[in-house]
């Protein structure tokens, strides 16, 4: 059933946004779940593991409530899919263990997609692309390296 939840949420998000968001499975890709079996889980709760100290994506406001871009996206995707969503802050360094142990159904946070991670996590299409930059004064003597 957890594979069906993930499949339904991932499929629904594709239609909701321009690109799918960061839903993942707990082990090898489970894309073989049929759309028919996924539809049977409407109304179920999907547990989303996240880092609750990752502003602006997910963090606690002054009322200690989870807020942020990823929280809003996950809520909208779950609503679109007819699912309930439960957010579970996790130790981000143990994210794969959380998936493998099935304590969470998916992760919804910034997570770089690498070939190594693809061996253990089923990634959706990225919903954003980040670049790291350094800003310096023109007279700092630091020159950009051609990409």
Neighbour order of strands in the sheet with 66-67: 53-54, 58-60, 66-67
What pTM did the predictor assign?
A: 0.65
Q: Per-residue pLDDT averaged across 27-42, rounded?
A: 42
Asked if residue 5 has pLDDT above 90, the reply is no
pLDDT, tens digit, for every residue of 88-143?
999 999 999 999 999 999 999 888 899 999 998 999 898 888 888 888 999 999 88
147 confidence band (pLDDT: 50, 70, 90): confident
Domains belonging to the chain, first-starting first, are 2-140 (3.40.190.10)
**CA angle centred on 44, ends 46 and 88, rounded to 5°:** 25
Phi and psi angles of residue 130, each rounded to the nearest 5 degrees, phi first: -110, 150
């Amino acid at each position: 059933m957890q594979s069906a939840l993930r499949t339904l949420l991932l499929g629904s998000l594709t239609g909701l946004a321009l690109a799918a968001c960061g839903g993942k499975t707990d082990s090898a890709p489970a894309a073989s779940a049929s759309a028919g079996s996924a539809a049977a889980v409407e109304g179920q709760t999907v547990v989303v593991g996240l880092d609750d100290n990752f502003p602006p994506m997910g963090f606690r406001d002054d009322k200690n409530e989870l807020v942020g871009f990823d929280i809003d996206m996950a809520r909208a995707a779950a609503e679109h899919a007819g699912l309930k969503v439960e957010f579970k802050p996790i130790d981000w360094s143990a994210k794969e263990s959380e998936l493998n142990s099935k304590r969470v159904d998916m992760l919804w946070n910034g997570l770089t997609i690498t070939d190594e991670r693809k061996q253990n996590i089923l990634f959706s299409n990225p919903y954003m692309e980040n670049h790291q930059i350094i800003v310096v004064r023109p007279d700092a003597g630091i020159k950009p390296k051609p990409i």
